[in-house]
Chains A and B, each alone.
Chain A
Amino acid sequence: MVEFIDVYKKFKDKTVLNGLSFRIIPNTMNQIVGEQSSGKSTILKMIYGAVKPDRGFIRAFDANVSNLKYSGIVLLRRYLGIIFEDIRLIKGLTVRENISIIIKMTKRDLYFSEEIFDILSIGHLLDKYPRELSLSEQSLVNIVRGVVFSFPLVLADEPLRYLSLDYKRKVIELFKYLNKEKGITFLIASQTVLDDDFNVIFIGDNE
């Protein structure tokens, strides 16, 4: 589903990825583990085409992302669920609108897994604006937005950062449930191993 072969990336003088290679198999739970600034987010951004590698080959689904034109990248992103590290909710829209704008603006009739609202207990937040939510509530909405349409691949960048222990457990259970029941593939970036069942790719000093 995703493949990195000998990928290099340098930001100014700092080499972030030095010949990274790995492969993600469909319908699996995967994690990239590394310290802060070790390149975890860069890897995820490379998959959805927001960062280009200096060298190497990146495949997502059947597309060579490293050579894909912008129109192709836009198309590829329609099959990805993205959970952002910096949350990125649209401030002028309610929670419901933040979620539905993805299907509204791409004119797709996607299945909406409403049970997720119940699992994470955010049903009461749907008509609120992001400014009315706490950071952990915003973080939950960010997670829901990434998984609610059951896209085949979900890229989650530090999804548990702002959550309480209880919610961290709930979210991991949700991810496992979606993987098992809907066959969604997960690639989660975090600083520590979240679950023993996940396939782990270590980067940086842990590589």
Chain B
Amino acid sequence: MNRDNVGIALFFVIVAFILTMTILMSMFFGINRYISDRKSKIPMYVFCKSSCKKTEVEKLSNKIMEKKGIVKVRIISKEEAFKDMASKFSIDKELFGDNPFPYSLELLFEPKYTNKNSFTKFANNLKKNPYVEDVNFPLKFLQNMEDVKRKVNILGESILTILYIVEFIVFVSIISVLYSHKKEDFDTLKFFGIKRSKILGLFLKNTFSPAIFAFFASIIFIFLIYNLYDKYANIYYINKELFKDSLKTTFVLNIVIGVLFTFFSSLFVFTVKDEKV
């Protein structure tokens, strides 16, 4: 591999690094946001006492709305509950003399409050309210969602960490090959009284030149990928705004990581391989 080829290899390694990590991270964030979104749609039901009047239920609803983490409170009227239940179970309404259902409330929470602990705490507090008969929420489903989110996080973070480590090793290896090709030139310069700090500057220039081209090339590739996604692969659950946001954030993050990787691997290689000849 001659020195120009090493530069080209470094260019493609950096482009591949930025694209792979950006797309993987975007997918990871996308899935994470989707799970959070689904979690935030898990409701909590508050059943009022049968003696409660509409004004009292509204009062309770307003009081709950003021609480931290609440996104939405919907009052379910006695009629609505009865109608809903009758249609769900195909019950003949005429069989009932009175409407047996009480007023109830459907509560929706912010994603970070949609977990077992917050729900249990919130429900226990509500149960102390004199208008509240009972509080109910899908505990099992909530636990499952939390479990899925935790597993996705662990898996995603592990994959990303391993990939970052592998990428750093690849950076060090390629830059190490680049240094080996330049070593004779650097030693020659030292024989003419050029300081090692200047040589390091020269070496950084050699590693950053392909890196800078790679950063610009990545911008073009990411732009193309985004447009392709927008045009042909707009997945319903991961909408383009979400994808665009993740892509932007992770792209900038990976450019920064790419710069840091280039700098630190160059510094590492120079420290290990450069000699005081």
- Where the two chains meet, the residues of A that have a C-beta atom closer than 8 Å to any C-beta of B are 48, 50, 70, 74-80, 82, 84, 88, 90-92, 101-102, 105-106
Determine the residue in chain A with the shortest Cβ distance to B194: A105
CB-CB under 8 A from A79, the residues of chain B are: 193
Contact (A88, B195) CB under 8 Å given A50-B277, A70-B276: no
B256 near A: Cβ within 8 Å?
A: no
- Minimum CB–CB distance from B274 to chain A (whole Å) comes to 12
Shortest Cβ distance from B202 into A: residue: A105
Total number of B residues with any Cβ neighbor in A under 8 Å = 15
Q: Which residues of B contact A90 (CB under 8 A)?
A: 185, 188-189
Interface centre among B193, B194, B277 (most CB of A within 10 A): B193
CB of A101 within 8 A of CB of B189, answer yes
The interface residues of chain A lying within 8 Å CB-to-CB of B191 are: 48, 50, 77, 82, 84, 88
A77 touches B185 (CB 8 A): no
Given A50-B277, A105-B198, A88 and B190 contact (CB-CB distance below 8 Å): no
Does B184 sit within 8 A of A, measured CB to CB? yes
Q: Are B3 and A78 in contact (CB under 8 A)?
A: no
Query: How many Å lie between the Cα of A80 and that of B190 in the bound state?
Result: 12
A88 and B183 alpha carbons, distance in the complex (Å) = 11
Chain B stretch 175-215: residues in CB contact (< 8 A) with chain A: 184-185, 188-195, 198, 202
Q: Are the CB atoms of A88 and B188 closer together than 8 Å?
A: yes
Give bound CA distance, A101 to B193, whole Å. 11
Known: A88-B188, A105-B198. A78 touches B193 (CB 8 A): yes
In the assembled complex, which residues on chain B have CB atoms less than 8 Å from the CB atom of A74?
190, 193-195
A50 to B189, CA, bound (A): 12
